[in-house]
Chains A and B, each alone.
Chain A
Amino acid sequence: MKNKFVHNALVFFAIFTMTITGAMANTLEKAKTTGKFTLAYRESSIPFSYLGEDGKPLGFGWEMCKLIAEEVKKETGRKDLVVESQAVTSQNRIPLIQNGTVDVECGSTTNNSERGKQVTFAINYFYTGTRFLVKADSGIKSINDLKGKKVVSTTGTTNYQILRNLNDEKKYGFELLGAKDHADALLMVESGMANAFGMDDILLYGLKASSKESAKLAVVGESIQVEPYAIMFRKDDPKFQALVNKVITNSIKSGEFEKAYKKWFQTNIPPKNVNLNAPMSKELKDNLKALSDKPAL
């Protein structure tokens, strides 16, 4: 019996050490032959890509994705192209791009070089850095005030990684906790179990805006390690990469991009009709001129 236990374990793992194939290289070719093009959306990445009250995706990135789909229609010459949508999470977005389930993701995905080995990113379309959500009366103004305090970040995010590494390198001396999702992390700050919640500032603005006690919360600190968000698609597909970048460039040059930015970041948006009040960062302004797809480290 016990020998079998070990034997079975080996068989089980052997199955997974086999390679899994099934990716397709050329997105435009695929769209042309199948007549289908699939956009990935996130369920709650406000305001990039999230579900509205009617259960349909919307957001800043989502609008960009729809522009890309239009361009694919033109490029392939298929007016009957069916544009489908598919929810992804931070856990499965990369595998789903790789295996061809979805063709392009316009969410809040950080463009970094580790991911660049597995997927390709378009021109960076947003910049965010890690900052802290604290209680307004806590007296915490910057990361230097966090010595001996408890800092929470969401498990499964790069922010957790950044804060951990920074705390090690610069000896800020805070205790880093992991929460299972953003809502729990917010709850831990509101209930005093943690003193600060370190996360992408744009997400913190969103969480603060939707909180019942918005006025009692504040987003503080200098942006730590500003990182770009970018639209993501399959690797080694220069034709499609050119198409996506053309769409972004055109929208920047025509002023559409800035209009969309104002709409999603500086006016009231659904579902709670709140204004994120997030002015365009210096990094993004610069990139609207540089049009770079340079990744974070």
Chain B
Amino acid sequence: MSLDFSFLTLKVINNIILTGLIFSIKLTLISMVLGIILGTLLAMMRLSKYKFLSSFALAYVTIIRSIPLVMVILWVFLLIPLFIGRSLGTEYSAIITFTLFEAAFYAEIMRAGIQSVKRDQANAGYALGMNYFQCMGYIVLPQAFRNMLPVLLTQTIVLFQDTSLVYAIGAFDLLKGFSIISKNFNRPVEAYILATIVYFIICFGLSYLVKRIQNRVRIVR
């Protein structure tokens, strides 16, 4: 069979592929930032001496990690309107879903990060008269974050790949862009080959970057 990519005009790239790509990137970045914040809080709760907090965090992380993202996407889309009384639309729904979902994964990474900082350091902080939050904010978290930076970024690449699952609620992401092309031009083979190439370049490029960052972090330590 012969491939025909002639449908790939500037207009198509601009209107369809870029629109999808921008949403995917936006979704990834916002969920990454919010997810790391929420994940760090969960990690702190998980390591807290209060049993209530640690069991809550453990339950949250365990449950989210054992159900498929597609189901979480469907849940949030179905439940949010029932609780807040109105629908948020697919974009916000997706952002909320990915933040809640990825937070469970970032939480495990941040927990390992916090545990990688020697206990003496926190104790030294307390000895200096710092309270828990000062100690975390000034001493533990910056190091934990730095130690875990490559892992956090690797998880973010996974997050970017996962954004392709928003098809379940019909949001317009990068993959949706390619499936629109496949339909409009009746060229599914070419459209999905292009999708593969674009995702590969982005993800491979990012993981190459992460490797470089990893080396730099290593040298500094």
Contacts and interface: CB of A to CB of B under 8 A. Distances in A.
A/B contact in complex, CB under 8 angstroms: yes
Interface of A: 4-5, 8-9, 11-12, 20, 22, 43, 86-89, 91-92, 95-96, 99-101, 180-181, 183-184, 186-187, 190-191, 211-213
Nearest to B84: A101
A275 B183 CA distance: 19
B1 to A, nearest CB: 12
A43 B63 CA distance: 33
A120 to B, nearest CB: 19
B5 interface: no
B55 A8 contact: yes
A91 B82 contact: no
Contacts of B205: none
Interface in B67-91: 74, 77-78, 81-83, 85-87, 89
A101 B170 contact: no
The 4 A-B pairs at the shortest CB distance, nearest first, are namely A8-B59, A212-B186, A101-B86, A183-B183
B74 A212 contact: no
B184 A212 contact: yes
A9 B62 CA distance: 9
Nearest to A20: B82
Interface residues of B, number: 25
A88 B90 CA distance: 10
Interface string B165-190: 00101100000000100111110100
B77 A91 contact: yes
21 contacts: A4-B58, A5-B62, A8-B55, A20-B83, A22-B85, A43-B170, A88-B87, A92-B87, A95-B78, A95-B81, A96-B81, A99-B82, A99-B85, A101-B81, A180-B167, A183-B183, A187-B182, A187-B183, A191-B188, A212-B186, A213-B186
Nearest to B187: A212
A185 to B, nearest CB: 11
B85 A100 contact: yes
A9 B66 CA distance: 11
Nearest to B183: A183
A183 B179 contact: yes
